[in-house]
């Protein structure tokens, strides 16, 4: 018989989740959802103002902490992970949501743009996984989820560096999932389509600047790529992430799950 206490228990109670890139957009939605599911949440970001805004509704709960670090700075990141573990205990859930997007025709994609996409979107995730995974292996339980993109499943014109970085993340996800398949650790990726975030607003501004089209027209064209004819909401991505971290998803590993209204099948 299920007791009332167990019936009301939150699925991620007593789990420590760390969310690099959790200060805004999809990352902030994920942090809020994890907290609502009972996890103790540490967010890592570069912008103190964004972190303050994210934390405002949760300061009194005492279950969310903020740390400042750049995912491309291995020393600062290692220190942040160590501080997080000291504050909330061993890290059991890692959600890599730090990322950047830049567009350019391939022949105008210089070495700096190319390296920036790889450094943030790939190397940053690798550094975070390398910091969190040892503790998960010792505990015999862990969940690693990386926010990739539909750009990791298909190609899009004029974002070759971004597409390459997201394809790399999905390859890493599949390989690492097999490596730790018997260790109690699952490794997955979620792949949002065009999502209502500040990054999307920057994309729309870029389109309008280069084409002279209105923001409304650009937004409509992006939404039209989704068979449901809408933009994905950050909370929808957060729901998928939390499902991958919750009881009942133990056999889901090595997957790249599109959250895109049927755009990618």
Could you tell me the two tokens for 53? 């805004």
Which parts of the chain register pLDDT below 50? 1-5, 59-60
* Separation CA 71–CA 57 (nearest Å): 25
- What phi and psi values does residue 196 have, to the nearest 5 degrees? -70, 85
Fold of 13-195+233-259: Rossmann fold (3.40.50)
What is the location of CATH 3.40.50.720 in the chain? 13-195+233-259
Paired strand residues for 257: 190
Marked catalytic residue, from 162, 185, 203, 234: 162
Q: pLDDT at position 213, please?
A: 86
Going from the C-alpha of 184 to that of each of 41, 133, 179, the distances in angstroms are 21, 11, 11
Reply yes or no on whether 162 is catalytic: yes
* Separation CA 162–CA 155 (nearest Å): 10
| 116-153 pLDDT per residue, tens | 999 999 999 999 999 999 999 999 999 999 999 999 99
Judge if pTM exceeds 0.85.
yes
Residues 6 or more apart from 212 whose CB is under 8 A from it? none
| 101-121 pLDDT per residue, tens | 999 999 999 999 999 999 999
CA distance from start to end of the chain:
41
């Amino acid at each position: 018989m299920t007791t009332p206490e167990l019936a009301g228990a939150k699925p991620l109670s007593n789990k420590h989740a760390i969310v690099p890139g959790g200060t805004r957009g999809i990352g902030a939605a994920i942090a809020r959802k994890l907290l609502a599911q009972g996890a103790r949440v540490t967010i890592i970001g570069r912008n103190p103002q964004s972190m303050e805004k994210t934390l405002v509704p949760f300061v009194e709960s005492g279950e969310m902490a903020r740390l400042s670090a750049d995912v491309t700075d291995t020393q600062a990141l290692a220190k942040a992970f160590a501080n997080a573990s000291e504050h909330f205990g061993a890290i059991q859930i890692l959600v890599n949501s730090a990322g950047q997007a830049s567009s350019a025709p391939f022949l105008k994609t210089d070495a700096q743009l190319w390296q920036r996409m790889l450094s943030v979107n790939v190397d940053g995730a690798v550094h975070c996984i390398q910091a969190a995974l040892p503790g998960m292996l010792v505990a015999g339980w862990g969940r690693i989820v990386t926010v990739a993109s539909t750009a990791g499943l298909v190609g899009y014109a004029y974002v070759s560096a971004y597409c390459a970085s997201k394809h790399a993340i999905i390859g890493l996800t599949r390989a690492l999932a097999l490596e730790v398949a018997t260790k109690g650790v699952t490794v997955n990726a979620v792949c949002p389509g065009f999502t209502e975030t500040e990054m999307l607003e920057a994309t729309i501004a870029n389109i309008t600047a280069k084409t002279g089209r209105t923001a409304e027209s650009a937004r409509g064209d992006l939404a039209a790529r989704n068979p449901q004819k809408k933009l994905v909401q950050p909370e929808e991505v957060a729901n998928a992430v939390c499902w991958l971290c919750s009881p009942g998803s133990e056999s889901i590993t090595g997957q790249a799950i599109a959250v895109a209204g049927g755009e990618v099948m």
